[in-house]
A and B are shown apart, each in its own frame.
Chain A
Amino acid sequence: MISLWRIFWLEVVSLVRSWTALMLLVASLGWMFAANFVLVTDATDAGKREMLVLYGLGGVFALLIVAVLAAATGTIATERESKRLQLTQVRPVSSFAIAWGKFLALSVVAAAILAFPCVTLLASSEFSGRRCSHVYRPLLESPKEEALKMYDVYMADPETPPLVKKAKKPVVLRILEQRAKDHYQTVQTNATASWTFPGLYDWSNENPFVEPAARLRFSNTFSMRDDVYGTILANGFFGVVSNITQTAVTVPLHLCQLEWNHDVLSFRNMGDKPVMLRPRQDVELLVPADSFAWNLFRSYIVMVSILALVAAFGVFLGSGLSRPVALFVAFVSLIVVEMGPSVIEQYPDSLETDAVDRFGLTIVRAVETCVKPPSALAPLSKLAADDCVEPKDALGTFAADFVLGPLVLSLLAAFVMRRKT
């Protein structure tokens, strides 16, 4: 235990005395301050809040990810190359303690630096009195289940391309799953669409004076901006929709005792044109939760956990590779993790692309599968939208990204370090 603490201490001291920590802190606070002047908003309070969270705090978070990755890949690699690692390894210290101590130090320093911009955000007037909301989605079949159901029909359909018919079942299922995710529901004029939200009835009985909201994102056939009018009913709560399509519209719902329809939220299209939405992505029920400060704290826990996982990954790479190679692999992995999902989403149907693209997609999928974090949350976008980062999600991310993932990576690093020595 003493040796673990000493390794931790040495790493912290090296980060502090090499000015790395201080420079990162100054850069972070400087950016948070400059963001108020540099970032152009839509002149609304909501726009400014979004900018400060997504680009202010988001910029600091991105900077820390890059810095932590660079530092983590170097920490063991440079010690090994300078032969200082030998002097630690000949002491009664396990290789795991070396990897874990270094990982902990990097994570703690990153967490300490990230705390400062979070505090400045908390202190700014734009966020005083803000509250966040629990976000619920309708109860629907999962895309995987829908894909499985659709499989036989799709394969029997004469319009299905022959190339797809020849493909293996998992490939076709992947295509169908993506289609299910993007499946649009059309609501005709004067028609009503309903979605089930389990627990809505119980919740409204337990919290009779708390009014929820609905967040919907409408579209139309030609993806053009158009007016949308309608009403929303959700178990005794009522709201009016009057907005334009292509925008997420949040509709406050008020108690009206009009209709007690158990666990169902319904939208009636009162405009003169049909509208479309994707129930899996575009329909949400917002229920008031706690304060912005608590939400920021939970987001902070998630961000620190992600930084910890990045640190552990860097330490693992540095334990076996030279620093330049480890850095290269780390950043390629980071880019794939960041961009992989959107690449895969944009090109779900690998059968329709040429051989080179198919090869690239296969590589992206393989790398993404290997380096995908055990738990992925987007704390900043939730924070910007006043969506609650649920405590169980924050704890789950902490357990997966700060404890379990790094534990496995540190064990691997220890194994590699012993082999490499």
Chain B
Amino acid sequence: MDEAIVKLEKVSKTFRDFWLRPTVEAVSGLDLEVRQGEVFGLLGPNGSGKSTTIKMMLGLLPPSSGKISLFGLPPHAKAARAKLGYLPELSYLHPFLTARETLMYYAGLCNLPRKVARERTDQLLEMVKLSDVATRAVGGFSKGMARRVALASALIGKPELLVLDEPTSGLDPVSTKEVKTLVKALAKKGMTVLTTSHLLADTEDICDRVMILNRGKSAAEGKVSELGESLEEFFLAKVGSGDDFALADFLA
């Protein structure tokens, strides 16, 4: 449980415009460790730098400064990526592929032999309850169904680290509960999970440890049980409760 699978050291990311002038500092001097077998939550309001942090971890964005390692390797190393599953904020599926073809495609990208890929596809379709619609194009799926296909495709390579960006976004309460149950089950099996969310109730249920990000910096980090009675109260105390809109003039 102590071995760091994901390690960020003094990581910063500054976005620049066409003339290379800095426009926004999305992440600033961030230190983070995700240990093997834990469910780690990255929390923060919109624009706090969660997705940027995730993208840097996945090697999709280069950091402006600092060091990132996945399984002790640089994030773009093939060996590191082979142990990784990623569910983005939106499903981004190829609409003309069927659910089965989608999973077979991602299995192929993980270099799984055809027989293994077929077996795992069947298992995952069964797991996300999409076996009945396996031959339908995912372009016609509801948001919840598409989310489940995306989750299954993140799991197709049997990853050791599962990165979930807003996993319950757009899901109804039933699907949300299913996803949370699934994450708990995967964690029990020893999979390391890194999830981001701004829905505190979701995170509170599944995470062992959380970090609260605010304006690209770590506002707090620790075990959920140690953060106080309510994660929501703690969160609001750290990132601010927000002011009411100045409606008086407008409504007058």
Indicate whether B74 reaches chain A with its CB closer than 8 angstroms.
no
The interface on chain B, measured as residues whose beta carbon lies within 8 A of the other chain's beta carbons, has a size of 31
Question: Which chain A positions have C-beta within 8 A of B108?
Answer: 2-3, 5-6, 9
Listed stretches B13-21, B37-45, B82-90; interface member: B82-90
Indicate whether A190 reaches chain B with its CB closer than 8 angstroms.
no
Question: Which chain A positions have C-beta within 8 A of B55?
Answer: 86
A91 near B110: Cβ-Cβ < 8 Å: yes
Interface string of A9-24 (1 = CB under 8 A from B): 1100110011000000
Which of A86, A88, A90, A421 is most buried by chain B, counting CB atoms within 10 A of its CB? A90
Indicate whether A179 reaches chain B with its CB closer than 8 angstroms.
no
B92 near A87: Cβ-Cβ < 8 Å: yes
Q: Which listed residue (B84, B94, B104) contacts A84, Cβ 8 A?
A: B94
Question: Which chain B positions have C-beta within 8 A of A6?
Answer: 104-105, 108-109
Q: How far is the CB of A335 from chain B (nearest CB, A)?
A: 27
In the complex with contacts A90-B58, A421-B61, A2-B92 CB distance below 8 A: no
Interface of B, helix, strand, loop or mixed by DSSP? loop
Cα–Cα, bound, A14→B93 (Å): 12
Q: How far is the CB of A319 from chain B (nearest CB, A)?
A: 15
Question: Which chain B positions have C-beta within 8 A of A404?
Answer: none
Nearest B residue to A418 by beta-carbon distance? B76
Q: How far is the CB of A355 from chain B (nearest CB, A)?
A: 31
B157 near A91: Cβ-Cβ < 8 Å: yes
A17 near B96: Cβ-Cβ < 8 Å: yes
A–B Cβ pairs within 8 angstroms, 20 of them: A1-B111, A3-B108, A3-B109, A3-B111, A5-B108, A9-B105, A9-B108, A10-B94, A10-B97, A82-B92, A83-B90, A86-B58, A86-B88, A89-B60, A90-B81, A90-B84, A91-B81, A91-B109, A92-B109, A92-B110
Interface string of B95-118 (1 = CB under 8 A from A): 011000100111011111100000
Q: How far is the CB of B81 from chain A (nearest CB, A)?
A: 5
In the complex with contacts A87-B86, A90-B60, A14-B109 CB distance below 8 A: no
Nearest B residue to A82 by beta-carbon distance? B92
A-B contact count (CB 8 A): 71
Q: Which listed residue (A2, A17, A86) contacts B60, Cβ 8 A?
A: A86
Question: Which chain A positions have C-beta within 8 A of B79?
Answer: 92
Interface string of A69-93 (1 = CB under 8 A from B): 0000000000000111011111111
Cα–Cα, bound, A2→B107 (Å): 9
Question: Which chain A positions have C-beta within 8 A of B144?
Answer: none
Cα–Cα, bound, A89→B58 (Å): 9
Q: How far is the CB of B7 from chain A (nearest CB, A)?
A: 18
Q: How far is the CB of B77 from chain A (nearest CB, A)?
A: 9
Interface of A, helix, strand, loop or mixed by DSSP? helix
> Within B48-87, which residues are at the interface with A (CB < 8 Å)?
55, 58-61, 76, 78-79, 81-82, 84, 86
Question: Which chain B positions have C-beta within 8 A of A17?
Answer: 96
Nearest B residue to A4 by beta-carbon distance? B108
* Residues of A that sit less than 8 Å from B by CB: 1-3, 5-7, 9-10, 13-14, 17-18, 82-84, 86-94, 418, 421
Nearest A residue to B101 by beta-carbon distance? A13
* Residues of B that sit less than 8 Å from A by CB: 55, 58-61, 76, 78-79, 81-82, 84, 86, 88, 90, 92-94, 96-97, 101, 104-106, 108-113, 153, 157
Nearest B residue to A6 by beta-carbon distance? B108
Q: How far is the CB of B206 from chain A (nearest CB, A)?
A: 22
Question: Which chain A positions have C-beta within 8 A of B84?
Answer: 90
Q: Which 8 A-B pairs have the closest CB atoms?
A: A6-B108, A91-B109, A17-B96, A92-B78, A92-B82, A92-B81, A90-B86, A84-B92
Question: Which chain A positions have C-beta within 8 A of B92?
Answer: 82-84, 86-87
B111 near A92: Cβ-Cβ < 8 Å: yes
Cα–Cα, bound, A405→B123 (Å): 43
Nearest B residue to A86 by beta-carbon distance? B60
Q: Which listed residue (A2, A7, A82, A89) contacts B112, Cβ 8 A?
A: A2
Q: How far is the CB of B110 from chain A (nearest CB, A)?
A: 6
Cα–Cα, bound, A92→B159 (Å): 12
Question: Which chain A positions have C-beta within 8 A of B82?
Answer: 92
Cα–Cα, bound, A421→B55 (Å): 10
Cα–Cα, bound, A315→B237 (Å): 50
A93 near B109: Cβ-Cβ < 8 Å: yes
Q: Which listed residue (B58, B78, B96, B101) contacts A94, Cβ 8 A?
A: B78
Nearest A residue to B97 by beta-carbon distance? A13
A86-B55, A90-B60, A91-B157 given; 17 more Cβ-contact pairs under 8 Å = A2-B108, A2-B113, A3-B108, A6-B104, A7-B109, A9-B108, A10-B105, A13-B96, A14-B96, A17-B96, A82-B92, A87-B92, A89-B59, A90-B58, A91-B81, A91-B109, A418-B76
